Amino acid sequence: MGELDGKVALVTGAGRLRGIGRATAVALARLGADVAISGTGRDPATFPDDEKAVLWRDIESTAEQVRAEGRKALPLVFDVVDEAAVGGAMDRIVAELGRVDILINNAAIARGEDRTAVPDLDVGLFQRVVDVKVRGSFLCTQAFIRRVYAQNEGGKIVNVASIAGKRGSADTLAYNAANFAMIGMTQSMAREFGPKGVNVNCVCPGPVATSRMDDVMPDNLILDAAPGQPVRRWGTDEEVGDFIAWLCTSAASWIHGQSINQDGGAVMEH
């Protein structure tokens, strides 16, 4: 018997081979949940070399890893900022997997030209960064909570932010704005949903060795860790995914409304 037997989860942004979403989907399946996996349908020409080398197929490959754990998987291509698409995806989850109990709001746009000085930051790109993280999490949460309330059996939400939601830095205005918003949204959700039996938390990772960090990842993740980080290495997607999955178990039910740093001690203040 798994801790999450009979539960159904949706993990957004779960199509990368080296990614928190994929690792979370597999960790949830290992605990017994059936998992719906979302992505935007990336162009295979844009895949990193390690994904091309293993003929990675985005969310389809993540679904195969979920099934390898003996659980059902439902890969879904949709844009989290599209209200109709989000509602349709949630309807499919309930229709094909029977219910929905867990939501992992992980979708975010890839690092890129948004990491720039404010005078050079494109307004449309700023809006896209905020839309995917903030509007996307709102729409997925709204569609999810309506169905969870109808089931009347409680549920779990884990929002994935960053330590960039705790500490601002230069040249990351859009990313900081989106992640600070996620922490405030987590607190609001927790106060509103808690009395209805829905447990809500947020995970704030530091540097994690995922493909979205390839442009800044050092060759030696131990020796070249960020100055001042007590645990002298970057994190792994499995470490973050396993922790997110644990927050979805009954053992974590009294942890509520928290935005928890998982960063090797880089941020300890709050």
Return the residue matching tokens 């979708």.
107
The whole-angstrom separation of Cα 239 and Cα 120 is 35
Q: CA-CA-CA-CA torsion for 238, 188, 175, 228, nearest 10 degrees?
A: -60
The whole-angstrom separation of Cα 256 and Cα 186 is 9
Sequence letter at residue 27:
A
Q: Which entry of 175, 180, 193, 243 is annotated as an active-site residue? A: 175
Catalytic residue flag (residue 175): yes
Sequence letter at residue 37:
I
Hey, which residues are catalytic here?
Answer: 175
